[in-house]
Structure 1
Amino acid sequence: MKTLEDIQIRDPFVVPLEREGRYYMYGSTDSNIWGKGTGFDAYVSEDLATWDGPLPVFRPDENFYSDTNFWAPEVYQVGERWYMFATFRRKDNDLLGTAVLVAESPLGPFVPHSDGPVTPVEWSSLDGSLHLDSEGNPWMAFCHEWQQTGDGEVRAVRLSADLKRAEGESVLLFKASEAPWTTPFLHKRYPGRNNYVTDGPYLFHGEDGVLNMLWASFIDNRYALGLARSRSGDVLGPWEQAPDPLYRDDGGHGMVFRTFGGERLLAVHAPNQTPDERPIFLRLEEADGGIRTYGRYAEE
């Protein structure tokens, strides 16, 4: 058994399965996610404190279109099957894209479902996240990467009902520089360029019914997590940025889940340096039309 302090993981994504009394945690689990990709592992817990794993849930075969940068798996049950949205760097054009994998169980094995990435083939895109609108139609929020755009974008696109492909063109929701808390990201590969990063969009409804989005960027080159709210209640917005970050202690790429006791938690990784990344669960409170964190869960 492992504790959270024992688990190196980025982009943690927790799926509570109440009928089993177990939580499944996925994420970027290669020891060096910036290099060759091995696959994705999962961890399983009954109490969010001690975890079994790592348990391999995806390993590519020799025909898989990527062998580098396996990032940010998000897992959803739709009907009787389990779908994984994950980012990979393509062999044929060296660009990032989000693909969809499928399995019959939350522990896989996951196999390719979409024909390569469902993000635009000519774009470097990452961190696709599934969202079902009020009518049950599937959408994917994703990032058009800052290395290609300069000012990173969060976009949304309709998906086919079978989750195999995008339907129509994506829509720009906002750019990273629109948030008042972000600052330019200084990178040695792009000297003198004002880069603004978008990472990890994740949509969820607040207790008040408002549609929220978590997304990550940087403040003075330290990773941070922001919050936006849809004024229309629809994925297409318009999106209003919170004036201050939700979490700024060199961590981010967050998602929200509910414990079996009904408490809402925010999952992030921190710090943002490899190999020191660890999953952190933070309590959430909603008041006065906003959301804030107020301490770690199960560490008292």
Structure 2
Amino acid sequence: MRLPGMPLHDPFVVADEVSRTYHLYTSNVPSVSGVDGNGTMVYRSRDLRDWTRPVVAFLTAGQEGIWASDGAWAPEVHAWDGRFYLFTTVHDEGRPLPLPPPNRWGVPFRTPTHARGTITAVSDSLLGPFTVLDPSRPVPPEHLMTLDGTLHVDAAGQPWMVYAHEWLQTIDGTMEAIRLSPDLSRAVGDPVHLFKASDAPWTSEQIPAGVPHQLPPYITDGPQLYPAPDGSLLMLWSTYEKNVAGPDGTISGGYVQTYAVSRSGKLTGPWRQHRPLVRDDSGHGMLFRTFDDRLMMILHRPFDDARGKLYEMRLDGHELEVLRRRDDLDGGG
């Protein structure tokens, strides 16, 4: 299989040095994996060009007492303390959350929200099966509607989950972080605010004066942390860049891949926003290094019926840029 023929939303790559094999995780697609159910499937490759048919590494239906079984979005797998940990987002539309008070513009919330958050699961193998550590609740606070949790380990060795707090509760979506217990099963303490989507000034720079900037919403999506050679900390993330679609002033937006930098190297920032790396309805990307030490970014495009796209990258200090699109690997188009 090659990337143009592989359904691939929210891709995440683990380059396993032991087997010299790339493991590419995404949400289970039963028509591709041959296994019914919500969960995680994983493709494998030695060269980033030719991939095996995926195997299923996790199914929500196999987790006794799990609080939610829908979704299983944005799977990531991280090595920690000698084992492998899966982070994936599940939700339950039958568990409504209370509507929050009016937002900072005084606009009341009318869109119903429901339980959504990232869970953690563990396995001794990159191929699973993964077992949920705490099936009774998500890791972030239950009253928050969150998604796309990722792992970050700070300089002191403390693990954190960084996640997106849904715009459905905030209008101006945020990135937040919360400390994790040593076994990654639960949150410790209160969430820490990192930044909000509108902190990126380019998100609305094309909107004319007088148009309410709070609509459409500011979205935070797909965080991934990556240390820079100069000691800074990078965060890849995605949002919607707003622009005017027509003469009637209707505002629309395009999904983009962007990044932010904490020059202090600390998760708490302060975070400085950079301009988008890739537009064209692209996003939820992550960085990884190839076995010959090339820095690569994989993301999905388009948002609907997504396929993986690979880019060769350069990181100069804390400045990240696209060197070239790897059409030879991702099929072009």
TM-score higher than 0.5 here? Answer: yes
Partner of 1:107: 127
Q: Could you list the runs of 5+ residues in structure 2 that have no partner in the other structure?
A: 97-113, 206-213, 243-252
- Given candidates 257, 262, 282, the residue that maps to 1:225 is 257
Give the aligned partner of residue 129 of structure 1: 150
State the distance in 2 between where 1:150 and 1:37 align: 32
TM-score (ref. length: structure 1): 0.90
Higher share of residues assigned helix:
2
CA distances 1:137-194 after superposition (whole Å, capped 9, x unpaired) = 101110110011100000011111111111110111110011022249xxxxxxx844
CA distance in 1, matches of 2:324, 2:115: 38
Give the letter aligned to residue 199 of structure 1: D
Other structure's SS at 2:201 match:
coil
The residue number in structure 1 matching 2:276 is: 245
Letter in 2 for 1:213: M
Query: Which of residues 38, 60, 69 is equivalent to 2:71?
Result: 69
Aligned counterparts, 1:46-61, within 5 A: 46-60=46-60, 61=62
Cα offsets for 1:63-103 (capped at 9, x unmatched): 43223222001100112211011100035443210110111
- After superposition, the Cα gap between the structure-2 partners of 1:179 and 1:31, relative to the gap in structure 1 and judged at 3 Å, is farther
The reply to whether residue 145 of structure 1 matches residue 200 of structure 2 is: no
Match in the other structure for 1:81: 83
Deviation string, structure 1 residues 96-155 (Cα, Å, up to 9, x no partner)? 101101111000001111342101101100011100001111011101100111000000
Aligned to 1:210: 232
* Residue of structure 1 in register with 2:325 after alignment: 296
Q: Are the equivalent residues in 1 in contact too, given 2:231–2:263 (CA < 8 A)?
A: no
What is the CA distance between 1:289 and its match in structure 2?
A: 4.7
Count of matched residue positions in the alignment of Structure 1 and Structure 2: 286
2:115 equivalent in structure 1: 95
CA contact (8 A) 1:37 1:67 kept: no
Contact 1:37/1:69 (8 A) holds in 2: no
One-letter amino acid matched to 1:210: S
Amino acid of the residue matched to residue 281 of structure 2?
D
Letter in 1 for 2:19: E
The whole-number CA distance in structure 1 between the counterparts of 2:318 and 2:86 is 32
**Deviating runs (4+, > 4 A) in structure 1?**
none
CA displacement at 1:39 relative to structure 2 = 1.4
Residue 17 (str. 1) matches residue 16 (str. 2): yes
3-state SS of 1:282 partner = strand
- Distance in 1 separating the partners of 2:226 and 2:295: 11
Given that 1:69 and 1:88 are in contact with CA atoms closer than 8 Å, whether structure 2 keeps it comes out as yes
CA contact (8 A) 1:37 1:68 kept: no
Larger Rg, first or second structure (1 or 2): 2
Q: Distance in 2 between matches of 1:248 and 1:159?
A: 33
- Of stretches 22-31 and 81-90 in structure 1, the one that deviates more from structure 2 is 22-31
1:155 partner SS: strand
The answer as to 2:313 corresponding to 1:284 is yes
Equivalent-residue separation in structure 2 for 1:257 and 1:21 (angstroms): 14
Residues 89/289 of structure 1: CA separation in 2 closer, same or farther (3 Å cut): closer
Does structure 1 retain, via aligned residues, the 8 Å contact 2:26–2:42? yes
- Ranges in structure 1 where 5+ consecutive residues have no aligned partner: 185-191
Task: Tell me how large the CA RMSD over aligned residues is.
Answer: 2.0
Q: Is the 8 A contact 2:231 2:264 kept in 1?
A: no
Q: 1:218, 1:224 within 8 Å by CA — same for their partners in 2?
A: yes
Normalising to structure 2: TM-score of the pair? 0.81
- Alignment partners' CA distance in 1, 2:7 and 2:76: 17
Q: Determine if contact 1:183/1:218 at 8 Å carries over to the other structure.
A: no
> Following the alignment from structure 1 to structure 2, what is the Cα–Cα distance between the partners of residues 182 and 287?
25
* Aligned-partner residue type, residue 214 of structure 1: L
